[in-house]
Amino acid sequence: MIRIDRVRRAGAIAALLPLPLLFSHPAVAADSADASAAAAPAAAAAADGGDDNKIAEIVVTAQRREEKLQKVPIAVTAMDSKQIENRGIQNVGDLSALAPGLQISKTASNTTISQITIRGLSQINPAIYWDPAVGVYVDGVYIGKAQGGIFDIVDLERVEVLRGPQGTLYGRNTLAGAINLITRRPSGEFGGSASLEVGNYNAITEKASIDLPKIGIVSMSLAARQEQRDGWVKTSNDSSTSKLNDRNNNGLRFAADFDFAPDVLGEYRYDRSITNQTPNWDQLYHVDNNLGYPGFDGYASHDRLKHADLDAPMFEKAHISGHAFTLNWTLDDINTLKSITGYRKLSWDDSLDLDGSPYDIAFTQRFTKYHQISQDLQWLGHTDQLNWVGGLYYFGDNGGTNNPQHFFSHSSNYDSSYSTKTHAGSVYGQLDYKPIDPLTLSAGLRYTREKKELARTFGCNSPFYPECTNSDPAAFNYLIPAGTGAQKTFHATTPMASVAWQFTPDLNAYLRYAEGFKSGGFNGEFSDPTLSSADNVAETQTPFKPEKQRSYELGTKSTWLDQRIVLNAAVYYNKAKDLQESIFLGSGAAASSVRNAGKATIYGAELEGQVALWAGSRLGFNYAYLHTKYDEFIDGGADVADNRAFVHAPKNTANLYLDMRLAQLGWAELRGMVDYAYTDAFYTYAYQLTGPSDAGYDPSKQVASDAKVPSTGLLNLRLSLSKVKLGDAASGELALWCRNVTDKDSPTNFIDFGPAFGSLTVANFNDPRTFGVTGVVRW
């Protein structure tokens, strides 16, 4: 049945789409044959500030080849190196709301695990047996897991955010979209930069980058970054940890380009990121009873606190390294072969006091080892009327997590571990055909085959569960004995088709259909001490199916007033099925179970643009509207679609930034940046929407509103004196900055243990106001 109000909403959304048509001027289009190459709306002006008062054009690789962004029939946001620097972007976690429809959180308790959502679809569970919904690529190499997914990227040159399924050219686990992180190529000439940033909480960040003169066939560059900051949460003298929410990390990057022959280029990239700091404090947010600990509820607060009492060690450690080698061989004027080989390794550990109090109520640790290898072989070509990309892809990984836990003063103890393996291969291709000059027809297809393996062990010792009772307090009853394993092969075929029409050199419109999928797998963390060993093993060995999405997208990309204004718009209508929802069980160990809940309809609209106000000054903006609805949500055999929350899906998000040249001095340039990002409230778990006073309320299940992130607006400011002449070959910059200027106090994520655990809920909060000064020297 089609509801009238849904039709009205869709009509309102579609009304945004023709805006560029209303403002375009055919005469202007005729005067600017190259205006269709205008920059991405989110891209900053050229590094010199844009003295010609035009929006700088940008080239992206969204379709695996270099193209001017305004011609790409995909919703893409791109940011160049200057904007990355001015907006303080260091890693994926800093991108939230900076592209329409993009929402990024750090998982509950951690600072180095990402939850990336595009257009309402995401990954909630951070464990390594579960795959992300948004593919992240560094220099063409896919990052396999969310654990360790937030790491420092040194010498970042460009960011591309591709919205909507990218199942053809990118393939596995790009159900919702993809993020390309592209680092800077060596110049082959001597030069570099160094910076020092000092801020409150004793923050110090040091960065340096150097390019070496070309030696023979080799051009090389080396860059490093180190950051330290005291924790803004202080702890009592008798706590096990002296501070929380600090920063202590460093990153290194080495790049080398090899000109093996005039038509053969090799590109080697090495990156390393090391983190050794305390995690986000799990502040007690809510509890229904004291769980037998006098005064426990007195530690609960909905306001951000800066003092903690702890009884357990708290740490978060990550050591990430990656190697990538790309070989480009230009066969002739038409054909190019490319090989991208990647190897990445992760060691990741954490230790968490999960109750936010000095009582020994909930404690868990995770010790993870993981590595991956990938190989992408591509054949790219073009003629006057054709462009094509064909490829073969392989991905393999292997990882394991040891996850010991104890609760209630060591009265309940759990031995939990799991490991996972993946062998995935795919073949893909895309063809673009221009039968007539304004029209481009594109079609693509990818076939993927993935084999997933799981090994699982779970033992318990607890007086609360008969299956876990043991007379020896040091012994475990193994409900899932060592050697328990499972494997299954999944298949997916993901097509794409689009029609693009270049109405004028300044206006392009496209209609796109695409499919994407997120791989299936096994519940590596599942454990339920209320069930028998046979039932626990059976659930562990039962796979959950791949999640799939079909997407219909209509978009326009336009430039007018001689490249002084850029405006892009898109509307989309998506159907998702076999949704993978992570349910926190809250019985026995701190464990989650992934279920294929059902189906959903997702639609929305996105608008982004940029205006050249005056020479060297730009106004940029984006807005996204998102509507999500479960068509089916099966829980316990019943369809509860009307009583379950859609997670990490804010209805409205927006970003507005103003990058201004305030004064042009003879020896320097004074610039200012105002950057504001807004995100509507959203739920963090797919729990029931009804509460205790509502009909249909189930007192045995969690309530979604207990773990709901409120709407949040964050304002950042930056004032800089740049292009300061330091001799004949060097320049300097001095900048004052402030982040979260209004000191917004908002929870960002939650863990809700559920009624079986006294509805104990802990929250992480955003950082308070930070400010400082940055000095940069370039030569």
* 575, 599 Cβ separation under 8 angstroms: yes
**Greatest CA span in the chain, whole angstroms?**
87
Give the phi and the psi of residue 426 in degrees, each rounded to 5: -150, 160
Spatial distance between the Cα atoms of 682 and 632, rounded to a whole number of angstroms: 20
* 76, 41 Cβ separation under 8 angstroms: no
pTM: 0.91
CA separation (Å) from 390 to 170, 266, 749? 12, 20, 41
User: Over the stretch 41-77, which tens digit does the pLDDT of each residue have?
Assistant: 333 333 344 567 888 888 899 999 899 888 999 999 9
- Give the CA count within 13 Å in the CB-facing half-sphere of 134: 29
Q: Quick one: which of 701, 497, 429, 693 has its CA closest to 583?
A: 701
Supply the pLDDT for residue 592: 74
Spatial distance between the Cα atoms of 56 and 53, rounded to a whole number of angstroms: 9
Cβ-in-10-Å burial (0-12, 13-18, 19+) of 649 comes to buried
* 368, 348 Cβ separation under 8 angstroms: yes
Residue 614, C-beta contacts closer than 8 angstroms, at least 6 positions apart: 53, 661
* 448, 477 Cβ separation under 8 angstroms: no
Q: Quick one: which of 206, 197, 208 has its CA closest to 734?
A: 197
* DSSP summary character for residue 312: S
Supply the pLDDT for residue 47: 38
Supply the pLDDT for residue 706: 94
User: Over the stretch 6-20, which tens digit does the pLDDT of each residue have?
Assistant: 343 444 334 444 433
CA separation (Å) from 142 to 171, 172, 341, 343? 10, 9, 10, 10
E strand intervals along 615-706: 617-635, 638-639, 652-664, 669-679, 682-683
Give the phi and the psi of residue 389 in degrees, each rounded to 5: -135, 130
Spatial distance between the Cα atoms of 765 and 380, rounded to a whole number of angstroms: 47
Phi-psi region of 594 (alpha: psi -120 to 50; beta: other; left: phi over 0): beta
- What are the per-10-residue average pLDDT scores of the chain (779 residues)? 39 40 36 35 40 83 90 92 85 87 91 93 88 94 90 88 94 92 95 97 97 97 97 88 92 97 97 95 94 94 94 94 97 97 97 93 96 98 96 97 95 95 97 96 97 97 92 90 97 97 95 96 92 94 95 96 94 96 71 85 97 93 97 90 95 96 92 96 95 91 94 96 92 96 96 90 96 97
User: Over the stretch 88-97, which tens digit does the pLDDT of each residue have?
Assistant: 888 888 888 8
Give the phi and the psi of residue 778 in degrees, each rounded to 5: -125, 145
The tokens describing 364, both together, are: 């868990």
* 380, 64 Cβ separation under 8 angstroms: yes
Domain that residue 576 falls in: 4-778
Spatial distance between the Cα atoms of 151 and 92, rounded to a whole number of angstroms: 8
* 253, 270 Cβ separation under 8 angstroms: yes
Spatial distance between the Cα atoms of 767 and 744, rounded to a whole number of angstroms: 8
CA separation (Å) from 56 to 61, 381, 528, 616? 17, 27, 57, 11
User: Over the stretch 546-568, which tens digit does the pLDDT of each residue have?
Assistant: 999 999 999 999 999 999 999 99
Question: What are the helix and strand counts (H, E) for the chain?
Answer: 5, 43
Supply the pLDDT for residue 56: 84
Q: How many CB atoms lie within 10 A of CB 82?
A: 18
Output the domain CATH number for residue 694: 2.40.170.20
* DSSP summary character for residue 99: S
Spatial distance between the Cα atoms of 150 and 115, rounded to a whole number of angstroms: 10
Total domains in the chain come to 1
Spatial distance between the Cα atoms of 591 and 531, rounded to a whole number of angstroms: 14
The tokens describing 627, both together, are: 């509507």
* 150, 91 Cβ separation under 8 angstroms: yes
Give the phi and the psi of residue 167 in degrees, each rounded to 5: -70, -10
Bridge partners for 623 per DSSP: 607, 654
CA separation (Å) from 532 to 113, 352, 417, 459, 649? 33, 29, 18, 12, 37
**Average pLDDT taken over every residue of the chain:** 90
- Give the CA count within 13 Å in the CB-facing half-sphere of 156: 28
Spatial distance between the Cα atoms of 570 and 20, rounded to a whole number of angstroms: 11
CA separation (Å) from 173 to 97, 428, 516, 519, 652? 21, 15, 8, 6, 25
CA separation (Å) from 414 to 92, 305, 408, 591, 705? 34, 31, 12, 11, 30
Pairing of strands 335-353, 362-382: antiparallel
